[in-house]
Amino acid sequence: MRAVLGARERGVPIALGTSGTTDRPRFVVRDPESWWASFEAYSELTGVRSGAAVWVPGPLSATMNLFAAVHAAAVGARVVDEPGEATHACLTPAQLERLGGELAPEVVICVAGARLERRSAAANVVHYYGAAELSFVAAGSHADDLRPFDGVEVELRDGEIWVRSPYICRGYADGAAGPLRTDSEGWATVGDRGRWSGTTLSVLGRPGAVTTAGATVVIAEVEERLASVAQGPVVVYGVPHAVLGEVLAVAVVAEADLATLRAYAREHLPSSHRPRRWRVVDELPLTPGGKIDRARLARV
C-alpha cells in the first residue's frame, strides 16, 4: 500500500501483480491517477469516507483488496483487522458466504472479484464488476443489476464487454501476454462476456469453456442458469473424460440443491450443457485471493 501511495507522490507508474502463468507472473502497469480518479465515485458507492473502519480480510496482493486499502488511506479511513471493528468491508462473493456472518448487520459490504448472485443481495451489500486491467466497469446490488460505473462507457461486441474510461491500465510489464485487448479509439476488454437487459448489464464472466463430444460449452452460461434456481452457491467446472474429452461437473454446498439442479438440467438444458458429475462439499475451496478455486475442485 505504501508503495502505491509513494508512486503517486512521485508521479511514477505502478506495477500490480495479477494472475498469470506460474513460471511468468503478470504485472499490470497503470498510472496512480487512474485509481485516484475513481475515488469519489467509489466513496459514493460504498460510503467509505473519513472516519470509516474498513475490514479487508483478503491479501493485499489481490488488486481489489489493495485498492480498498489505498482508497481508505487516501480518504482518511482506516483498515481494521477484526470484523467486529468494521463499519465497512471488502469481500469476494465466496468470502461473503463464509465470513459475512461475522459482521454486524449495519456494516456496508462491498463485494467484487467474481459474480455475486441475486440470492446474496441485501440492503447493506453493494457489488461492482471490474478487472485488474480495467478497474471499475459497472456497479449495482448483484451481478444482474449493474449499470456503468461513473465515468465509464460500456458496449457489447458479440457478447463481449468493452469499456472506455479514465481507469484503464497502460498494459502489461515486460510485454507479458494477458487477456487485455485494446482498439485505436481507447476501448478495452479482458474477454468477459455480458448481456444487456434494458440499461442493466448482466456479467457472465470469462468464457472458460469445455469441449464435450465435439460441442463447446461456455461454463459461465451453465453456472448462471443453475445458480438462478439454487439455494446455495453453485460452481461449474470442467473435468477430463476418456470418451467425451471433457464433461461439466458441479459442486454445491447445500445437499438439497442436488436434486433440484439435476431436475432443472434435465428439463431446461440441452444435452451438451448438462453436467455429468455432481458432488456436495462441506465448503468450496478458495484461492489465496478469496475466489473459488476451480482447479482444486477439478483435481479431487
Which domain CATH number covers 90?
A: 3.40.50.12780
Rg (CA), the chain: 19
**23-52 exposure pattern, b = at least 16 Cβ within 10 A, e = fewer:** eeebbbbbbbebbbbbeebbbebbebeeeb
Q: Based on the domain organization, do 84 and 184 belong to the same domain?
A: yes
Q: Based on the domain organization, do 158 and 20 belong to the same domain?
A: yes
Q: Based on the domain organization, do 125 and 227 belong to the same domain?
A: no
HSE-up of 78 (CA within 13 Å, CB side)? Answer: 8
User: Taking a C-beta distance cutoff of 8 angstroms, is the pair 279, 250 a contact?
Assistant: yes
Mean per-residue pLDDT of the chain? 92
pLDDT in tens, 95-126: 998 999 999 999 999 999 888 888 899 999 99
Q: Based on the domain organization, do 153 and 92 belong to the same domain?
A: yes
pLDDT in tens, 55-111: 999 999 889 999 999 999 999 999 999 999 999 999 999 899 899 999 999 999 999
Q: Is 76 a domain residue?
A: yes
Q: Is 286 a domain residue?
A: yes
**Where residue 136 falls among pLDDT bands split at 50, 70, 90?**
very high
Q: Is 201 a domain residue?
A: no
pLDDT in tens, 178-229: 889 999 999 999 998 899 999 999 988 776 888 787 777 889 889 989 999 9
pTM across the whole model: 0.80
pLDDT of 21 over the 60 cut: no
For residue 150, what are the domain limits? Answer: 2-195
- Cell numbers placing 248: 461439466
